[in-house]
């Protein structure tokens, strides 16, 4: 990091007891680096004269449908303009069934809820979100918004609260993510969601002191056909 700062001639990182954070110049460098990566991928695709075409059927579980996929899908469409991308959003059980029947080419979901092993796996983290108009008092019962389809994540949310000694009451619970997001945006309560899921809404990451911290969760991509077994 010190060598990079010396090359740039600017301070890119600020260091404190809380860790290392990017400065304004550091954030600017990251933005340009991301653009460079995108241009590199586009250039490689064109130089290799990739000519993929036809339909590609991708299935997503609802809680992962917005989890960082927008930039990836944009890059995919730029590199493969002749591919017809069809997206299906459903519960993990249905996605697993459709994949096994050959009705989907790929699915992205929680690996613990899909048979077989993923060909690609990565991690994300839940964070607390609340309306900008909602005032949260750490000494009072937490108004909690839950999404039934979150599966094991739902259990982890409640377990994390118990371990932290927080009192809560469920003020809203929905089978769909859209309804849960609407409840959070309306100021009804606070919810734990993937960071990438909450974009351009009336909600923001909660900064309530002492708010319990979540571990990272695995996400995986599965392909149709014979699945690798452990």
Q: What is the pLDDT of residues 83-134, one digit of tens each?
A: 788 888 888 889 999 999 999 998 888 888 888 888 888 777 788 888 878 8
Q: What is the pLDDT of residues 169-188, one digit of tens each?
A: 999 998 777 788 888 888 89
Q: Which one has a higher pLDDT value, 51 or 4?
A: 4
Looking at residue 99, its pLDDT comes to 92
Looking at residue 14, its pLDDT comes to 79
pLDDT band per the 50, 70, 90 thresholds, residue 144: very high
- Over the range 15-41, which residues count as b (16 or more CB within 10 Å of their CB) and which as e? eeeeeeeeeeebeebeeeeeeeeeeee
> Dihedral of the CA atoms 133, 19, 122, 54 (nearest 10)?
70
CB 108 within 8 A of CB 219: yes
Q: Does domain 52-123+219-223 have CATH number 3.90.1200.10?
A: no
Instruction: Give the Cα separation of 217 and 126 in Å (integer).
Output: 8
Looking at residue 42, its pLDDT comes to 58
Instruction: Give the Cα separation of 21 and 58 in Å (integer).
Output: 36
CB 79 within 8 A of CB 191: no
Q: Which one has a higher pLDDT value, 139 or 30?
A: 139
Give the H/E segment covering residue 204.
strand 203-205
Tell whether the model's pLDDT for residue 61 goes beyond 50: yes
Q: Does domain 125-216 have CATH number 3.40.190.10?
A: yes
For residue 219, give the nearest of 152, 129, 128, 127 by alpha carbon. 152
Rg (CA), the chain: 21
- Tell me if domain 52-123+219-223 and domain 125-216 are identical in fold: yes
Looking at residue 200, its pLDDT comes to 47
Looking at residue 230, its pLDDT comes to 47
Domain boundaries, the chain: 1-49, 52-123+219-223, 125-216
Q: DSSP for 33-70, please give it.
A: HHHHHHHHHHHHHHHTT----EEEEEEEEGGGTTSSHH
């Amino acid at each position: 990091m010190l060598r990079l700062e010396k090359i740039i001639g600017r301070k890119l990182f600020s260091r404190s007891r809380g860790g290392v954070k990017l400065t304004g110049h550091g954030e600017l460098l990251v933005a340009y680096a991301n653009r460079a990566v995108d241009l590199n991928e586009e250039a490689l695709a064109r130089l290799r004269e990739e000519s993929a075409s036809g339909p590609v059927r991708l299935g997503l579980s609802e809680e992962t449908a917005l989890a960082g996929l927008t930039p990836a899908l944009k890059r995919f469409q730029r590199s493969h303009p002749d591919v017809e991308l069809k997206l299906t959003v459903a519960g993990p059980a249905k996605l697993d069934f459709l994949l096994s029947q050959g009705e989907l080419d790929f699915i992205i979901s929680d690996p613990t809820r899909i048979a077989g092993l993923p060909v690609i796996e990565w991690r994300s983290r839940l964070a607390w979100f609340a309306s900008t108009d909602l005032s949260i008092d750490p000494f009072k019962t937490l108004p909690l918004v839950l999404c039934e389809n979150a599966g094991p994540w739902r259990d982890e949310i409640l377990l994390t609260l118990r371990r932290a000694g927080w009192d809560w009451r469920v003020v809203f619970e929905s089978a769909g993510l859209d309804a849960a997001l609407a409840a959070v945006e309306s100021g009804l309560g606070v919810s734990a969601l993937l960071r990438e899921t909450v974009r351009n809404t009336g909600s923001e990451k909660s900064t309530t002191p002492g708010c319990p911290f979540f571990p990272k969760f695995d996400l995986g991509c599965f392909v149709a056909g014979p699945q690798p077994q452990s």
